[in-house]
Structure 1
Amino acid sequence: MLLQKSISIKLVSFGLITSILLTGCTSGASEESSSSQEKSDKTLRILTNVVGGKDPEEQDLFEKEIERLTGIQVEMDKPPADYDQKLLASMASGEKYDLVYLTKPMLDILVDQNVLTDLTDNVNDSEILSDSNIIADEEWDLVKTEDDKIYGVFNKFEGGTLPTVRQDWMEKLGLEQPKTLEDFYTVLKAFKEQDPDGNGKDDTYGLSTAGLYDIQGFMSAAGVKYRYIIDEEGKRTIPYATEAAVPVYEWFAKLYKEGILDKNFATNDSGKMRELFLTDRVGMVTYWDAWVGLFNNIATTENPNTEFVAKGIPGAEGQDGKIMLRRGDPSLWSVPVNAENPELAIDFLEFWHSEEGNILGSLGIKDNDFTVTDGEYELTETGVEHGMDHGAPFPSNRQFENPIGVYPGVEEAQKVILDNKATVEVSTADWPAAEKIVTNYAFKAMMGEMPAKDAVKQMNEELSQADLID
């Protein structure tokens, strides 16, 4: 699961709009689906990021598998890097794709530029896409525009981020699941001081993060959310830059001073943080719900007799008793207005949300990633390496049950995200600039380099001066 960067509207020039519109709008994706014979005479061009094979050879197999399952010939363009830049450049040049992969922040930008097809009628007219048992109504609410239009259809179910704890350490030390910020302190302090790994050395941290990614589970105690809050009048505020966040910054400063918080948290990347967790160096991290299962799978694969157990838990309760967690930005498929085969694009999207499409997006390619014998599914060695992830490890289809099963702990972690009604964060074109200021002063407060109140005050002043908040 990669964190997509917000792309400034300023990057999408007038030339992008002109080139796409001049290429010629189709009659829309609302045309009736073609017959199987007609499909075979056309090629569906797809610009994709995470969906597909794990290498060029498997990518070719992936395309052939789609054709075997649907009769649709596909050509998938999967750039090796800088995907968002490739998407923008391709659309600006007038290159024609029938489907493009993007995330909600990018969708918002391209909708504003009038370069994506309105798919509202297509979704409503589709027995598959409009079925609330497949895609829940509340999921569509995450991606609808202000005028209730749909310009993107889900690629997969996006979970969220939450505190992930070494549950075996919790049980070994006789600790209860924390609820308040003070409870979290008690647990993290025990991880630091009570030798949970049993090696007789003072070499464990209570908590590690990859910078501010993602401390939302602790900011929940103050009832503040990362990125922007925009009111009905369009006024922008950044809750992490308000006085409400000060007590949480002070809490982090206490952890840092006492050596409970990983001293390298500000410079960690997610890989370093994961390594600390998997090698018994830290008792809690903040990461994606899907990684709860991956942590457990990696640990047991390396050592079948390991005591390692990762568990996703709710964040700290606010004064109202509620927990405020982060939901990931939805990943979507959209149809550009210059698509040559919009009807095939809809056919593909219906397939993608069917059981066969769900299996392809998760398990992968039959006889390459998995085999089926007398109805029993089994991963091949290649399939094990690929981790049941070919772009949609957790399909949006609520009726789908992975025939292999899922990794231990992941369903419980996803339930935490859904039960607490985690919401997506709000970005704007200005967020990358604002984030630099927020991060700079948040780190100073968390490491005790500045009193939290002073850091927040300075944060606000710089954000205001740069016209990044109202």
Structure 2
Amino acid sequence: MKAKKAKVLSSMVAALLVGSLAAGCTSNSSTGTDAPKASDQPKTEGKKEERSLRMMSAVIGGKTPEENVLFEKEIERVTGIKAKLEKPASDYNQKLMAAVSSGEKYDLLQVSKELMNTLTDQGILMPLTDQVKGSKTLQDPEVIPTAEWDQVKTKDGKIFGVFSKFQGGTMPIVRADWLKKLNLPEPKTFDDYYKVMKAFTEQDPDGNGKKDTYGLSTAGMYELQGFFSGAGLKQRYVEKDGKLDVPYSTDAAIPVYEWLNKLYKEGILDPNFATNDTGKMRNLFLADRVGMITYWDAWVGMLNNTRKIADANTAFEAKGLPGVAGADGKYMLRRGDPDVWVIPVNAQNPKTAFEFIEWWHSKEGIVLGSMGIKDTDYTENGGKYELTQAGKDHAMDHGVPFWYNKKFPNPFGLLPGVKEAQDLVIKNATLELTPPKWADAEKIINEYSFKAILGEMPAADAVKKMREQLKAAKLID
């Protein structure tokens, strides 16, 4: 699907560039220099820039069209900026590109890093390096940790997008209460994980007297990074000496596939793993059917909270694990691509757009992006916040479930287990490299990975076939 989207994006981007050039739009990126600081932005045709913004977002905003209108009014109430926020209900990337390629002008777009890279390559985005470096707010490590900027920098060190939220990562998630019940230590090695998962399968951890539990469930190959970490292998692509490769298709991956096949043959791995979606996997975990899954750090807290709501006295405890350490003793988890705010080169109010980006990382911006709209989603009295029923239903997520700014801690605290899981991500996770043709490569990787895990082919043969097909399709160098 992503490959098809990439082709659509490329054609639309080409149309946009032609239109932009015809209209006389220019970008500093064409000269290889950054745009001026927000405070030095030239005025359009000598007119003072309006304090208004036209924005488009996939996740930021109201939960319904009606609430989105209130979201716009809340932006104006708090900042004085008159905002028009468009939030398509589906097919966000296609609708965004269709609008932009037709010549429509936006001041701010909220996009994934992957889409930001595409737009950057086509010269559609305004470079923000100077503005970011000159921003007291964004340069404050208490607001955004300095090392995080490496996620959004281009190879030559330029910045075209600013984080819209904190994006977490994935890891193995274990039933810590089952570990305690069966007197098992937290696993660290492949052998440790095998023993723990075997015990979860055979020692009746749910106490119902039946052998109806599994050690591990996944949603296909989704987020097995924590186990491939033991072989020092990164998910998706890596680039070395200018060449692209897929570590899961190398001989180094064979022992990991063989280990997973062992789990499958012995009934430790959920037999439906290949056809599970993430919902089925989570439900097995919540229903005491499986002792370990592979998923996002944020879900550690949501899983714990779900069971706590159902039963205040539950012993249920989900906990994130770092996976298996490689030969160098290091763990290798997956970091999700960050969502970012970007400013198109044809933005009418770029100074106001950057002002909004800075504000988004303030206390007031975070409150709006998380809790939502005052007197609709929450009430506030003397610095004390209380969620309304609507706010509870919206789960403190209007596009920013987690944020960087340490100066404004979550007034309700984090859900149990989330902080520890996020710390594992920050310490051990890095971004994936996802070129436009990843979707084509993923089909081949999944096909032969499943054959290896299910025992339909020896792991060595499956890896060999996987690699041959990836090379034949020119998906690896």
TM range (shorter): over 0.9
Partner of 1:455: 462
1:57 shift after superposition = 1.7
Deviations along 1:133-174, one digit per CA (max 9) or x if unpaired, are 211121111110111110000011111101111111111111
Partner of 2:44: none
Aligned CA distance change for structure 1 residues 51 and 29 (closer, same or farther; 3 Å): farther
1:67 shift after superposition = 0.9
Match 2:447 to one of 440, 450, 453:
440
Q: Which runs of 4+ in 1 moved over 6 A?
A: 3-6
1:389 shift after superposition = 1.0
Partner of 2:111: 102
Match 1:11 to one of 2, 9, 29:
9
Aligned CA distance change for structure 1 residues 318 and 151 (closer, same or farther; 3 Å): same
Partner of 1:211: 220
Contact (CA 8 Å) 1:6, 1:431: kept in 2 or not? no
Alignment of 1:404 with 2:412, yes or no, is yes
Contact (CA 8 Å) 1:40, 1:72: kept in 2 or not? no
- Single out whichever of 209-218 and 25-34 deviates more from structure 2: 25-34
Match 2:471 to one of 459, 464, 467:
464
One-letter amino acid of the counterpart of residue 451, structure 2: K
SS in 2 for 1:282: coil
1:279 shift after superposition = 1.1
Q: Give the unaligned 5+ runs of structure 1.
A: none
SS in 1 for 2:75: helix
Alignment of 1:87 with 2:96, yes or no, is yes
Alignment of 1:171 with 2:169, yes or no, is no
Alignment of 1:63 with 2:72, yes or no, is yes
Deviations along 1:268-325, one digit per CA (max 9) or x if unpaired, are 1111111111111111110110111111111111221211111111111111111111
Contact (CA 8 Å) 1:208, 1:265: kept in 2 or not? yes
Deviations along 1:246-280, one digit per CA (max 9) or x if unpaired, are 11111111111111111111111111111111111
- Single out whichever of 409-418 and 391-400 deviates more from structure 2: 391-400
Match 1:295 to one of 278, 288, 303:
303
Question: Alignment length, in residue pairs?
Answer: 464
1:4 shift after superposition = 8.7
Partner of 1:262: 270
Alignment of 1:230 with 2:228, yes or no, is no
Contact (CA 8 Å) 1:293, 1:408: kept in 2 or not? yes
Partner of 2:436: 429
SS in 1 for 2:222: coil
The Cα RMSD (Å) is 2.1
Match 2:374 to one of 359, 366, 375:
366
Give the TM-score, by structure 2 length. 0.93
Alignment of 1:394 with 2:402, yes or no, is yes
1:40 shift after superposition = 10
Partner of 2:120: 111
1:100 shift after superposition = 0.6
Cα distance between partner residues in 2 of 1:40 and 1:280: 58
SS in 2 for 1:252: helix
Aligned CA distance change for structure 1 residues 272 and 40 (closer, same or farther; 3 Å): farther
SS in 2 for 1:62: helix
Contact (CA 8 Å) 1:6, 1:428: kept in 2 or not? no
Match 2:336 to one of 328, 332, 339:
328
Match 2:282 to one of 274, 280, 288:
274
Contact (CA 8 Å) 2:50, 2:349: kept in 1 or not? no
Contact (CA 8 Å) 2:226, 2:322: kept in 1 or not? yes
One-letter amino acid of the counterpart of residue 333, structure 2: L
Contact (CA 8 Å) 1:188, 1:284: kept in 2 or not? yes
Aligned CA distance change for structure 1 residues 26 and 448 (closer, same or farther; 3 Å): closer
Cα distance between partner residues in 2 of 1:170 and 1:4: 39
One-letter amino acid of the counterpart of residue 67, structure 1: E
Partner of 2:31: none
Deviations along 1:189-244, one digit per CA (max 9) or x if unpaired, are 11111111111111111111111110000001111011111113x21110000010
Cα distance between partner residues in 2 of 1:82 and 1:142: 25
SS in 2 for 1:371: strand
Contact (CA 8 Å) 2:177, 2:315: kept in 1 or not? yes
SS in 2 for 1:332: strand
Deviations along 1:42-68, one digit per CA (max 9) or x if unpaired, are 430111001111111211111111111
Aligned CA distance change for structure 1 residues 413 and 339 (closer, same or farther; 3 Å): same
Identity of counterpart residues, as a percentage? Answer: 56
Match 2:352 to one of 339, 344, 353:
344
SS in 2 for 1:208: coil
- Single out whichever of 452-461 and 428-437 deviates more from structure 2: 428-437
Deviations along 1:329-358, one digit per CA (max 9) or x if unpaired, are 011010011111111111110110001111
Partner of 2:168: 159
Aligned CA distance change for structure 1 residues 440 and 354 (closer, same or farther; 3 Å): same
Cα distance between partner residues in 2 of 1:392 and 1:365: 13
Aligned CA distance change for structure 1 residues 100 and 314 (closer, same or farther; 3 Å): same
Partner of 1:194: 203
Contact (CA 8 Å) 2:173, 2:320: kept in 1 or not? yes
Partner of 2:383: 375
Give the TM-score, by structure 1 length. 0.95
Contact (CA 8 Å) 1:6, 1:106: kept in 2 or not? no
- Single out whichever of 430-439 and 371-380 deviates more from structure 2: 371-380
One-letter amino acid of the counterpart of residue 353, structure 1: H
1:39 shift after superposition = 9.7
Contact (CA 8 Å) 1:20, 1:91: kept in 2 or not? no
Contact (CA 8 Å) 1:51, 1:390: kept in 2 or not? yes
Aligned CA distance change for structure 1 residues 72 and 170 (closer, same or farther; 3 Å): same
Cα distance between partner residues in 2 of 1:217 and 1:463: 23
Deviations along 1:15-64, one digit per CA (max 9) or x if unpaired, are 13222344424895734289xxx999543011100111111121111111
